Amino acid sequence: MTDFVRICAQSELPAAGQVREFVATGRALCVANVDGAICVLDGTCPHEGGPLGEGTLEKGRVVCPWHSYAFDVRTGAPQDDAELRVEVLEAKVENGELRVKL
């Protein structure tokens, strides 16, 4: 059974308008803060494996630092290549920490 795993303290979350990379159980995650809403995606870009958590956040999309492909942080939907989609993970912030269902 998959369970919620602690990712970080609430104080470590990215500031509004930013993304940050975390690694949990060996998996890279991209945590995005869209105007206070925390979204968590798989941190490995489906294009060529770039680190999405080191990208930038623009208009609700994370932009990969390697070749600038952009993905909606709420749905994982790509802006360009319809075949490249990022998995979005269920996440919750409670008791001062971010937990994600892995």
Does residue 87 touch ligand FES according to CB under 6 A? Answer: no
d(Cα 14, Cα 57) in Å, to the nearest integer? 11
Report the residue number, 54 or 97, with the smaller CB distance to ligand FES: 54
d(Cα 64, Cα 47) in Å, to the nearest integer? 9
d(Cα 2, Cα 61) in Å, to the nearest integer? 27
d(Cα 7, Cα 41) in Å, to the nearest integer? 12
Contact 21, 51 (CB under 8 A): yes
Report the residue number, 48 or 58, with the smaller CB distance to ligand FES: 48
To the nearest whole angstrom, how small is the minimum distance from the Cβ of residue 45 to ligand FES? Answer: 3
Report the residue number, 4 or 66, with the smaller CB distance to ligand FES: 66
Span interacting with ligand FES, options 6-14, 26-34, 61-69, 91-99, rule CB under 6 A = 61-69
Does residue 61 touch ligand FES according to CB under 6 A? Answer: no
